[in-house]
């Protein structure tokens, strides 16, 4: 009776992939979806209303990260922000210096960064990938050594999108600046969950995506320090100080700003409660399910738990959990359909078996004690079923 009753109420534990839009964000957006639909680049009253809303959102977000409003540029997502910072900086410096320079990043960045690095390499730039240790942190000595070869830009994420480890970005940025390189930080998994201040972190560029903290999908922002080299990623009009063409997503921008304000205001209280629930889930899994191990050490963002189950394929486990009402992930949502072991866990040096048996739970302020209890009951049942069937793939088993 337990699993059948539980299935009537679904438990969502994949907030690192995306979050439900908050009531505050939705309410802020609604006026600009119908009544205040003017194009911010036009001159009449409806347009001026939209322009004022965009600039108010810009000022609000800038205040939250310790920036000046003119250093905040609105984008469509974290992927665009990462691409723009990396390619825009490297190409701007290549034009100024008359040479294609060196880009340094880590081996377990988000695909938006790693694929940008690959594109730079294909275009003739020098690219270096710094290793990470088994506990999920950048090798700072190797990072400094890579910078010592004349780097122009370095990039490291603040919080890893799979294991949740919080990187020593301020130290990495200081090392980059000491080597006369600019520094970019992918803060997509961090903003709204831990404090993010661009002055304290000493970064030149910082990427954020709205849907990771209860804002809408399809909107993000890039912080670019005043004077940091940056070329447009695409050609267009004169929006965003002439650097990012395209009519602004007014409703999305306003909604993201409202979600950001709410997340940052409630951050300390939410983080304590979310971390307590995450730790409870972790403790009970380790105590109640044999053959389990945690991936990534502390410090981690409050809601992320990546854990491997011996003798279990995570893709089959995700599917079985879904059938019984629990949403979790086999890794990053951007790579979970590829069927290959997580590049993050591979970069940590974990075995293929351990990587393929890894499941990521990511909690939010909406997660409850009842969600943890329900998840444990269903998870134990699913693990037992998969292990008892001798690792038979669920799809083949059904056929």
Active site residue ranges: 334
How far apart CA 275 and CA 255 sit, in angstroms, is 26
Element (H, E) at 6: helix 2-6
Q: What is the 3-state secondary structure (H, E, C) of 175-219?
A: HHHHCCCEEEEECCCCECCECCCHHHHCCCEEEEEHHHCCCCCCC
**Distance in angstroms (rounded) separating the CA atoms of residues 30 and 300:** 35
Tell me the C-alpha distance between 266 and 171, whole Å: 27
User: Is 52 in contact with 45 (CB distance < 8 Å)?
Assistant: no
Cα–Cα distances (Å) from 253 to 25, 103, 190, in that order, read 10, 31, 19
Cβ burial of 218 (10 Å; 0-12, 13-18, 19+) is middle
3-state secondary structure of 154: strand
99-128 exposure pattern, b = at least 16 Cβ within 10 A, e = fewer = ebbbbbbbbbbbbbbbbbbeebeeeebbbb
Three-class DSSP category at 80: helix
Rounded to whole angstroms, how far apart are CA atoms 167 and 130? 13
Q: How far apart are CA 240 and CA 51, in angstroms?
A: 11
Give the pair of three-digit tokens for residue 374: 């329900």
* No. of helices (H) and no. of strands (E), the chain: 15, 12
CA 22 – CA 10 distance, rounded (Å): 18
Q: Residue 21 has what DSSP assignment?
A: P
């Amino acid at each position: 009776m337990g699993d059948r009753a539980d299935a009537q109420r679904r438990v969502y534990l994949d907030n690192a992939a995306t979050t439900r839009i908050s009531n505050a964000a939705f309410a802020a957006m609604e006026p600009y979806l119908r009544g205040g639909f003017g194009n911010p680049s036009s001159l009449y009253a409806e347009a001026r209303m939209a322009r004022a809303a965009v600039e108010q959102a810009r000022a609000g977000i800038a205040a939250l990260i310790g920036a000046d409003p003119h250093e905040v540029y609105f984008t469509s997502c974290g992927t665009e922000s990462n691409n723009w910072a990396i390619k825009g900086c490297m190409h701007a410096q290549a034009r100024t210096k008359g040479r294609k320079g060196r880009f340094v990043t880590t081996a377990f960045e988000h695909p938006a960064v790693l694929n940008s690095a690959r594109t730079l390499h294909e275009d003739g730039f020098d690219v270096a990938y710094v290793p990470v240790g088994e506990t999920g942190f950048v090798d700072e000595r190797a990072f400094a050594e890579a910078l010592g070869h004349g780097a122009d830009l370095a990039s490291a994420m603040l919080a890893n999108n799979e294991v949740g480890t919080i990187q020593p970005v301020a130290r990495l940025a200081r090392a980059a600046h000491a080597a006369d390189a600019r520094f970019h930080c992918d803060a997509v998994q961090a903003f709204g969950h831990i404090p993010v201040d661009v002055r304290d972190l000493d970064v030149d560029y910082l990427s954020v995506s709205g849907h990771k903290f209860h804002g809408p999908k399809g909107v993000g922002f890039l912080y670019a320090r005043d004077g940091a080299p940056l070329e447009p990623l695409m050609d267009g009009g004169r929006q965003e100080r002439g650097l990012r063409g395209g009519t602004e997503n007014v409703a999305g921008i306003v909604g993201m700003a409202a979600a950001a304000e709410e997340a940052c205001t409630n951050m300390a209280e939410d983080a304590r409660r979310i971390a307590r629930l995450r730790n409870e889930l972790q403790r009970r899994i380790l105590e109640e399910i044999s053959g389990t191990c945690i991936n990534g050490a502390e410090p981690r963002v409050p809601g992320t738990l990546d854990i491997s189950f011996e003798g279990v394929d995570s893709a089959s486990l995700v599917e079985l959990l879904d059938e019984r009402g629990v949403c979790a992930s086999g890794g990053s949502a951007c790579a979970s359909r590829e069927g290959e072991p997580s590049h993050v866990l591979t970069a940590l040096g974990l075995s293929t078996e351990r990587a393929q048996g890894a499941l990521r739970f990511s909690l939010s302020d909406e997660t409850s004690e009842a969600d943890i209890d329900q998840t444990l009951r269903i998870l134990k049942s699913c693990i037992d079923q998969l292990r008892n069937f001798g690792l038979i793939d669920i799809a083949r088993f059904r056929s």
